[in-house]
Amino acid sequence: MKHVNDRTRGLQPIHGFTLIELLVVVAIIAILIAILLPVLSKTRFTARKVTCGARLGQIYVAFSAYLQDYNDQAFWRANDIHNNGMEWYVYGGRETGNYCTDQMGLFNRVIPRPLNLYVSNEIRTFMCPEDSKGWEWAQGYTHYDWVGNSYIFNCTGYLSEDYLPLDDLSRGFAGKVFTTAADLSTTAVFLDTSLVKSPQDWHEGNGNICFGDGHVKFVMVKELERYCWNQ
């Protein structure tokens, strides 16, 4: 018995946390979460913005390769550009299974979409990471699911207030020699759809634009009129 007492003589009783101590720990954790959540949210926002800009950059690289193969002509043009020509979205992206059947089924009819070959058919290149919310005018689908592309091509110039392309077919790049633009560094070529349709839905009301010289800029909607649209 003496031997057992010798072994246990140096042990101290173990006390658990008191209720107050536990409450203090919980309160500290809650404070840390409150501090970190906005930071994490901002980090995710920045990551999506950067990814979006990078995808527009990839699209421009693909577009540049296309221009080299087609004597600098930016796709094609037709008298009825919105049904048979190079419309805003069919230059790249998903070719079939798109839910929009308007414009004589154009969004499921252009096969292959010309830039898909130049991105090795990695069609998610044409999907903005912010394009995750269903839009009422698209019957509740995301824009990518609606037309197979999140990014507008400047085919017919600047957009009117009701978000429809102006009817002047002398505007925009579709069917034109790309290098004829007066100032490619300020002329928009590809941009986030949300900038002209539902600005509040992507990038907190802002968006990315890829210009004719290949640089990408994150801009506010009110800045759109500052730039050239090859008019």
Q: Which residue has the tokens 């009117």?
A: 160
Predicted local distance difference test score (pLDDT) of residue 6: 52
Mean pLDDT of the chain: 79
Predicted local distance difference test score (pLDDT) of residue 164: 45
Instruction: Give the list of residues 6+ apart from residue 155 with CB closer than 8 angstroms, or none.
Output: 75, 81, 85, 86, 87, 88, 165, 172, 173, 174
- Determine what percent of the chain falls in helix, strand and coil, rounding each to the nearest 5: 45, 10, 45
**Residue 53 above 80 pLDDT?**
yes
Tell me the mean pLDDT in the region 27-47: 72
What is the reported pTM? 0.75
Instruction: Give the list of residues 6+ apart from residue 136 with CB closer than 8 angstroms, or none.
Output: none
Predicted local distance difference test score (pLDDT) of residue 223: 77
**Rounded Cα–Cα distance for residues 73 and 77 (Å):** 10
**Rounded Cα–Cα distance for residues 85 and 77 (Å):** 5
Q: What percent of the chain has pLDDT over 90?
A: 27
Per-residue pLDDT band for 105 (boundaries 50, 70, 90) equals: confident
Per-residue pLDDT band for 160 (boundaries 50, 70, 90) equals: very low
**Residue 15 above 70 pLDDT?**
no
**Residue 165 above 50 pLDDT?**
no
**Rounded Cα–Cα distance for residues 111 and 92 (Å):** 10
Alpha helices in the chain (DSSP H): 2-8, 19-69, 81-84, 102-105, 143-147
- Which tokens go with 137? 């005018």
**Rounded Cα–Cα distance for residues 92 and 28 (Å):** 50
**Rounded Cα–Cα distance for residues 182 and 179 (Å):** 8
